A and B are shown apart, each in its own frame.
Chain A
Amino acid sequence: MRRGKRKSVRNEPYQIPTATESCEAFFSLEQNKEYIISKFHHTEDIKFRRMTIQNIACILAYLDPLVDEDKLQKTIMKPLMEKNKLDIEDTVTSKEYRRSKNLQEAVSGLTKGFVVLFIEGYQHFYLLEAFSANSRAVSEPINEQVVRGSHEGFVENIMQNLQMLRRRIENPNLVIRFFQVGKTTDTKLAIIYLQHLVNPDLIQEVEKRITSIQTDSIQTPGYVEEFIEDSPFSPFPQMLSTERPDRLTAHVIEGRIGLLMEGSPSTLVMPVTFFAFYQSPEDYNSRWYIGSILRLIRVASFIFALGLPSLYIATVSFHSEVLPAELILNIKSSLENVPFPPLLEALIMQIILELLREAAIRLPGPIAQTIGIVGGLVIGTAIVEANLVSNMMIIVVALTAISSFAVPSYEMSMSIRLLGFPLMLLSASFGFIGLVFGLSIILIHLCGLETFGTPYFSPLAPFRFNELKDSIIRLPRWLLGNRPTDVHAQYRKQEWRSRGWKKNEND
Chain B
Amino acid sequence: MKTTSTINNAQLFFIIFQTQVGVGVLSLPSSLYAEAGTDGWITLMITGGAIQLVVFILYFLSKRFPSLTLFEYAPKIVGKYVAFIISFLYVAFAIATAVIVLELFETTIKTWILFRTPMLVILLLLTVSGTYLAVGKIKVMGRFYQFVSVLIIPLVLMSAYTLKDADIRYILPLGQNGMGTIFKATQKGIVSMLGFEIVLFVYPYVQNKGKAALKSLTLANIAVTSLYTFLTFTTYVFFSPGQLEIIPEPLVYMLKGVSFIIVDRVDLLFLSIWIISVMTSYVSYLYIAGRGIQHLTKRKKTTGSILVAAILALIFSMFSHDRYTVEMLSSYHAKASYFFALGFPLVLLLVSLLFKKKEESQ
- Residues in chain A near residue B276, CB distance under 8 A: 436, 440
Tell me whether B114 and A321 are in contact (CB under 8 A). no
Question: From residue A408, how far is it (CB to closest CB) to chain B in Å?
Answer: 23
Q: Give the bracket for the number of chain A residues in contact with chain B.
A: 35 or more
Residue among A319, A436, A444, A453 having the largest count of chain B Cβ atoms under 10 Å? A444
Tell me whether B264 and A323 are in contact (CB under 8 A). yes
Tell me whether A437 and B129 are in contact (CB under 8 A). yes
- Residues in chain B near residue A447, CB distance under 8 A: 136, 140, 143-144, 147
Residue of B nearest to A327 (CB): B262
Any B CB within 8 A of the CB of A455: yes
Residue of B nearest to A324 (CB): B264
Tell me whether A443 and B262 are in contact (CB under 8 A). no
Known: A432-B268, A440-B279. A205 touches B144 (CB 8 A): no
Within 87-136 of B, Cβ neighbours of A (below 8 Å) are at 109, 113-114, 117, 121-122, 125-126, 129, 132-133, 136
- Residues in chain A near residue B264, CB distance under 8 A: 321-325
The residue that B275 contacts in the complex, of A433, A441, A444, A455, with Cβ under 8 A, is: A433
Any A CB within 8 A of the CB of B311: no
Tell me whether B142 and A437 are in contact (CB under 8 A). no
Any B CB within 8 A of the CB of A222: no
Tell me whether A444 and B136 are in contact (CB under 8 A). yes
Residue among B10, B109, B144, B279 having the largest count of chain A Cβ atoms under 10 Å? B144
**Stretch in contact with the other chain, from B1-9, B44-52, B215-223, B312-320:** B1-9
- Residues in chain B near residue A339, CB distance under 8 A: none
**Cα distance A436–B259 when bound, in Å?**
21
Tell me whether B140 and A444 are in contact (CB under 8 A). yes
- Residues in chain A near residue B10, CB distance under 8 A: 463
Per-position binary interface string of chain A over residues 60-100, scored 1 when its CB falls under 8 Å from any chain B CB and 0 otherwise: 00000000000000000000000000000000000000000
Residue among A321, A443, A445 having the largest count of chain B Cβ atoms under 10 Å? A443
Within 424-483 of A, Cβ neighbours of B (below 8 Å) are at 430-437, 440-441, 443-445, 447-448, 450, 452-453, 455, 457, 460-463
Any A CB within 8 A of the CB of B11: yes
Any B CB within 8 A of the CB of A201: yes
**Cα distance A499–B263 when bound, in Å?**
47
- Residues in chain A near residue B109, CB distance under 8 A: 433
Any A CB within 8 A of the CB of B179: no
**Cα distance A440–B128 when bound, in Å?**
11
Any A CB within 8 A of the CB of B160: no
Tell me whether A431 and B113 are in contact (CB under 8 A). yes
Question: From residue B84, how far is it (CB to closest CB) to chain A in Å?
Answer: 32
Residue of A nearest to B264 (CB): A324
Tell me whether B113 and A323 are in contact (CB under 8 A). no
Tell me whether B1 and A323 are in contact (CB under 8 A). no
The total of Cβ contacts below 8 Å across the A-B interface reads 99
The residue that A462 contacts in the complex, of B117, B146, B148, with Cβ under 8 A, is: B146
Tell me whether A322 and B268 are in contact (CB under 8 A). yes
Tell me whether A441 and B117 are in contact (CB under 8 A). no
**Cα distance A319–B146 when bound, in Å?**
29
Tell me whether A444 and B125 are in contact (CB under 8 A). no
Tell me whether B265 and A461 are in contact (CB under 8 A). no
- Residues in chain A near residue B142, CB distance under 8 A: 462
Any A CB within 8 A of the CB of B272: yes
- Main SS class of interface, A: helix
Tell me whether A434 and B148 are in contact (CB under 8 A). no
- Residues in chain B near residue A430, CB distance under 8 A: 114, 117, 121, 125
Question: From residue B153, how far is it (CB to closest CB) to chain A in Å?
Answer: 14
- Residues in chain A near residue B133, CB distance under 8 A: 440, 444
The residue that B144 contacts in the complex, of A201, A436, A443, A452, with Cβ under 8 A, is: A443
Question: From residue B145, how far is it (CB to closest CB) to chain A in Å?
Answer: 9
Tell me whether B113 and A432 are in contact (CB under 8 A). yes
Tell me whether B136 and A448 are in contact (CB under 8 A). yes
- Residues in chain B near residue A461, CB distance under 8 A: 143-144, 146-147
Question: From residue A273, how far is it (CB to closest CB) to chain B in Å?
Answer: 13
Question: From residue B320, how far is it (CB to closest CB) to chain A in Å?
Answer: 22
Tell me whether A432 and B272 are in contact (CB under 8 A). yes
Residue among B122, B143, B259, B262 having the largest count of chain A Cβ atoms under 10 Å? B143
Tell me whether A457 and B275 are in contact (CB under 8 A). no
Question: From residue A464, how far is it (CB to closest CB) to chain B in Å?
Answer: 10
Tell me whether A448 and B140 are in contact (CB under 8 A). yes
Question: From residue B358, how far is it (CB to closest CB) to chain A in Å?
Answer: 32
Within 266-291 of B, Cβ neighbours of A (below 8 Å) are at 268-269, 271-272, 275-276, 279
- Residues in chain B near residue A455, CB distance under 8 A: 143
The residue that A441 contacts in the complex, of B132, B261, B263, with Cβ under 8 A, is: B132
Residue of B nearest to A322 (CB): B265
Tell me whether A433 and B140 are in contact (CB under 8 A). no
Question: From residue B12, how far is it (CB to closest CB) to chain A in Å?
Answer: 12
- Residues in chain A near residue B129, CB distance under 8 A: 437, 440-441, 444
**Cα distance A463–B8 when bound, in Å?**
10
Residue of A nearest to B121 (CB): A430
- Residues in chain B near residue A443, CB distance under 8 A: 144, 147-148
Known: A322-B264, A327-B262. A433 touches B125 (CB 8 A): yes
Known: A321-B264, A321-B265, A444-B133. A434 touches B125 (CB 8 A): yes
Per-position binary interface string of chain A over residues 398-442, scored 1 when its CB falls under 8 Å from any chain B CB and 0 otherwise: 000000000000000000000000000000001111111100110
- Residues in chain A near residue B148, CB distance under 8 A: 440, 443
Chain A interface (Cβ within 8 Å of chain B)? Answer: 201, 205, 230, 318-319, 321-325, 327, 430-437, 440-441, 443-445, 447-448, 450, 452-453, 455, 457, 460-463
18 more contacts with CB within 8 A, not counting A432-B272, A462-B143, are A322-B263, A322-B268, A322-B269, A324-B262, A324-B263, A430-B114, A432-B268, A436-B272, A437-B275, A447-B136, A447-B147, A452-B1, A455-B143, A457-B147, A461-B147, A463-B10, A463-B143, A463-B146
7 CB-based A-B contacts, threshold 8 Å: A319-B113, A322-B264, A436-B275, A441-B132, A443-B144, A444-B136, A457-B143
Which 7 A-B residue pairings sit nearest by Cβ, starting from the closest?
A461-B143, A448-B140, A447-B143, A448-B136, A453-B1, A447-B144, A461-B147
